[in-house]
Structure 1
Amino acid sequence: MAQHNTDGSRAERFAKEFLIAKGYEVLEENWRYRRAEVDLIARHNNTLVFIEVKARSGTGFGLPQDFVDVKKQKLLALAANEYLFLQQHEGEIRFDIIAILFKKGFEEYGIHHIEDAFWDYG
């Protein structure tokens, strides 16, 4: 497995643990619809939350959250709309980003949780 895939899996695991510690109920991991994937889908305070996890080992090219561009947001919204339809969910939703910055050879990391990171483009 490529190193970036391993780091991505670690980042998603750290993000999941972080969310659970904050009282989120994680419902799905790596949920796919067509060419779109949602890293984590969780419930928090009666809100369904679609979460994109982005990790980087440095900020030379920008912060992790900078890599969730409009194209990625549209793909997330596409998947979210299908999930909402399948679950017949009619309540509140939001899109969050969990940005993870690995430090010191991936031994340490920082997490930045951005709630309501962008609007639904669906």
Structure 2
Amino acid sequence: MARKDVLGRTGEQLAVDHLIDRGYEIVARNWRCPVGEIDIVARDASTTVIVEVKTRAGLGFGHPLDAITPVKLARLRRLAGAWCAEHEPGGRVRVDAVAVIAGRDGIVIEHVRQVC
């Protein structure tokens, strides 16, 4: 497995652990449909949360959240719609982002609610 793939999987697990520690229930991981893939689907009380995770080993290529472009946000909205059409979750739906920086100095996790 490529180093970047290991880093990505590690980042997703750290994001899951972060969400669980804050009381979220994990509903699905790596859910796929023709539109693309949702990294994490979680519940925050009565809200369904679509979570995009971006992981970097450092800031040499910019902050992880810089990779969430307007095109990516549009895809996340379509993915949220596809999830809801298939699962009919009821309640509110929001899209969050979790940035994971796993550098030499330790791990930093930043959770941004409602990115779109």
User: How would you bin the TM-score normalised by the shorter chain?
Assistant: over 0.9
- 1:57-68 equivalences in 2 (<5 Å): 57-68=57-68
What's the TM-score, normalizing by structure 2?
0.93
1:109 aligns with 2:110: no
Question: Is the partner of 2:71 in helix, strand or coil?
Answer: helix
1:42 and 1:48 in contact (8 A); partners too: yes
Cα shift at 1:108: 2.3
* 4+ residue runs over 6 A deviation: none
RMSD, aligned CA:
1.3
**What is the aligned residue count?**
116
- 1:1-122 equivalences in 2 (<5 Å): 1-104=1-104, 108-118=106-116
Cα shift at 1:35: 4.2
Percentage identity across paired residues of the two chains: 33
1:36 and 1:78 in contact (8 A); partners too: no
Unaligned runs of 5+ in 2: none
Structure 1, residues 67-90: CA drift from partner, whole Å, max 9, x if none?
011121122222211110111234
Question: Is the partner of 1:116 in helix, strand or coil?
Answer: coil
The residue type paired with residue 109 of structure 1 is: I
The residue type paired with residue 22 of structure 2 is: K
Unaligned runs of 5+ in 1: none
What's the TM-score, normalizing by structure 1?
0.89
